[in-house]
Amino acid sequence: MEEKPIVAFRNVSFSYQNEAGENVPVLEQLNLEIHPGTYVAILGHNGSGKSTMAKLMNALLLPSEGHVLVNGCDTRELPRLAEIRRTVGMVFQNPDNQIVGTTVEDDVAFGLENLGLEPREMRKRIDQALQAVQMQGYEKRQPHRLSGGQKQRIAIAGIIAMHPSVIILDEATAMLDPQGRQEVCALVRRLNREEGVTVINITHFPEEALDAHRVVVMKQGAVYMDGSPAEVFAQVERLQEAGLDVPYAVRLRHDLAKEGVVLPSLLHQEELVVELCKLLLKT
């Protein structure tokens, strides 16, 4: 029996009105399924529709046409809205926009208070969430004194304390330095691998897609490419046509191939170094 998708787009279109009152299409007849426990990276140039997809999955937006289903619930069904948002947690680009507490533990507790949990259960979830993001010991710290990467980990702790089945990162590393990006990416990979959380990482950094199970590339409101990282990044010219870059190791291997230096298929810089060393030892 085929596993039911946890998120599904069924012939979804979405448009917004510009200042002239004209309808501007963002997504057109989109069909896409995401299954439980997977790590999906969604790439796309600005305006490709990827952030609109994130907001549709959390019912922050509703489709102009078609249906978005979250664990079988239609996002148009207003009585199911709370259930949908408990299922799908979102982490946005700027962590300062998500942090509301005066201390770290107050911030993580905010969503739990809205759920009406008893204090003992809240304390348990706060401690577990901070441990999951490796921020235990920071409970009494003031969030505004933390680094960007630490703030984003606190924002993620506030989401996972609510026990969602799906975490969406909507350009969540865009404002972070390289170390902060590495921290957040390592965290969500671990949540996916060890906790079974479905991760949907919407990003414009191709390196963040290397460890995903699946890469979906959006172009002009439609799925342009869909496959494993190896399958997608092997098509360098198609990605460049969509206005996207490819990971450094893939790009260098591609450029070397044009000069007659053929290397095995690879994705990571470490793999590239190993293959180049092997080649040098043969010469």
Residues 226 and 251 occupy one common structural domain: no
Dig out the tokens for 4 from the structure. 């039911």
Query: How far, in Å, CA of 170 to CA of 82, rounded?
Result: 20
Cβ contacts of 274-279, under 8 Å, gap ≥ 24: none
| 38 or 160, greater pLDDT | 38
Instruction: Please tell me the predicted confidence (pLDDT) of residue 87.
Output: 92
**pLDDT surpassing 90 at residue 104:** yes
Mean pLDDT over each residue of the chain, to the nearest integer: 90
Q: Are 164 and 278 in the same domain?
A: no
Rounded to 10°, the helix 178-195/119-132 angle is 120
For residues 161 and 210, what is the distance between their CA atoms, to the nearest angstrom?
A: 27
Total domains in the chain come to 2
Residues 215 and 279 reside in one and the same domain: no
Tell whether the model's pLDDT for residue 47 goes beyond 60. Answer: yes
- Give this prediction's pTM: 0.88
pLDDT tens profile 200-213 = 999 988 999 998 99
Q: Tokens 């191939």 correspond to what residue?
A: 257
Q: Supply the DSSP string of 96-123, one letter for each residue.
A: GGT---SSHHHHHHHHHHHHT--HHHHH
**Per residue in 213-227, pLDDT tens?**
999 999 999 999 999
* Structure confidence by residue, pLDDT tens digits, 232-259: 999 998 998 888 888 989 989 988 988 8
Q: Is residue 106 part of a domain?
A: yes
Q: Are residues 133 and 25 in the same domain?
A: yes
Backbone angles phi, psi at 128, to 5 degrees: -65, -40
> How do beta strands 166-170 and 198-203 pair?
parallel
For the segment 159-176, the average pLDDT, to the nearest whole number, is 88
Block residue for tokens 């690879």: 266
Statement to judge: residues 228 and 259 lie in one domain: no
Q: What is d(CA 187, CA 122) in angstroms, rounded to the nearest whole number?
A: 22
Distance separating alpha carbons of residues 41 and 221, to the nearest angstrom: 16
Residue span of the structural domain in which 276 resides: 247-283
Show the tokens assigned to 251: 């790009």
- 262 and 187 in a single domain? The answer is no
**DSSP annotation string for 216-236:** EEEETTEEEEEE-HHHHHT-H
Q: Say how many C-beta atoms besides its own lie within 10 A of residue 13's C-beta.
A: 16
* pLDDT at 148 (0 to 100): 86
Looking only at the bridges linking them, the beta strands covering 88-91 and 214-219 are unpaired
CATH number, domain of 205, equals 3.40.50.300
The conformation of residue 68, written as its DSSP 8-state character, comes to E
Helices (H) and strands (E) in the chain, counts: 10, 10
pLDDT tens string 51-101: 999 999 999 999 999 999 999 999 999 899 989 988 999 988 888 888 888
Give the C-alpha separation, 221 to 30, whole Å.
8
Q: Are residues 262 and 153 in the same domain?
A: no
Distance CA 262, CA 40 (A): 30
Kindly state the average pLDDT of the residues 9-25. 90
d(CA 5, CA 3): 6
Angle between helices 148-160 and 178-195 (to 10 degrees): 20
pLDDT of res. 28 = 93
